[in-house]
């Protein structure tokens, strides 16, 4: 092998090895939280909780901005039974961790009864839903990875953005933000 060919090979190999590292470093150097933080119990990371329905409060614990879009974590406190309709997130995994109360969580064809200390994972692209059951207040930690547009979507919905839209407009709005409704809620009765 000629010296010039050998040098070119080394330079090409070095670039191939360092490029993924450089891209990862660039991705992590965005607007991530530069230091640790604490969010107290019953408090929201942004000092402003949101509500999507009566008796349901979301407390952001780790904001999309904290992780440069890597994840979004919130605590959901639910007073009334029920939950969202069956839906899909094409690009986010979803994870539920029950803090208190009892929930039915459906992922694909599987349905789980989850109580305090239980967790359920829903991979992206798989239809899923959940519902609080029983009379007791229920509390969940819900994580989206990556965050996608979920935090902004929940904030907009809590501010009433969907109220003046037709069903077709609502579906398009949801889909643009990574949520596609594909069926009914599972209800508040155990199945």
In order of start, what are the domains of the chain with their CATH numbers? 56-181 (2.60.120.10)
The answer to whether the beta carbons of residues 69 and 53 sit under 8 Å apart is: no
pTM here? Answer: 0.78
**Distance (Å, whole) CA 124 – CA 128:** 9
Closest-CA residue to 95 (of 135, 35, 146, 42): 146
- pLDDT tens string 26-49: 344 456 778 899 999 889 898 888
Closest-CA residue to 107 (of 157, 182, 171): 182
- pLDDT tens string 53-75: 766 889 999 999 999 999 999 99
- pLDDT tens string 93-148: 999 999 999 999 999 999 999 999 999 999 999 999 999 998 999 999 999 999 99
**Look-up of token digits 């596609």:** 180
**Distance (Å, whole) CA 50 – CA 80:** 16
**Look-up of token digits 């349905």:** 111
The mean pLDDT of the chain is: 84
């Amino acid at each position: 092998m000629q010296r010039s060919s050998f040098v070119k090979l080394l330079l090409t190999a070095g670039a191939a090895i360092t490029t993924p590292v450089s891209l990862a470093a660039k991705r992590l150097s965005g607007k991530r939280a530069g230091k640790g933080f604490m969010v107290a119990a019953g408090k929201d990371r942004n000092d402003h909780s949101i509500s999507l329905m009566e008796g349901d409060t979301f407390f952001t614990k780790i904001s999309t901005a904290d992780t440069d879009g890597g994840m979004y974590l919130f605590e959901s406190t639910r007073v009334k039974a029920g939950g969202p309709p069956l839906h899909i997130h094409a690009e986010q995994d979803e994870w539920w961790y029950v803090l208190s109360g009892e929930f039915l969580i459906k992922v694909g064809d599987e349905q789980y009864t989850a109580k305090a200390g239980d967790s359920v994972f829903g991979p992206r692209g798989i239809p899923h839903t959940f519902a609080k059951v029983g009379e007791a207040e229920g509390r969940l930690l819900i994580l989206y990875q990556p965050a996608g547009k979920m935090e902004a979507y929940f904030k907009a919905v809590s501010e009433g953005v969907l109220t003046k839209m037709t069903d077709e407009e609502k579906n398009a709005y949801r889909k643009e933000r990574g949520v596609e409704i594909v069926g009914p809620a599972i209800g508040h009765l155990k199945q």
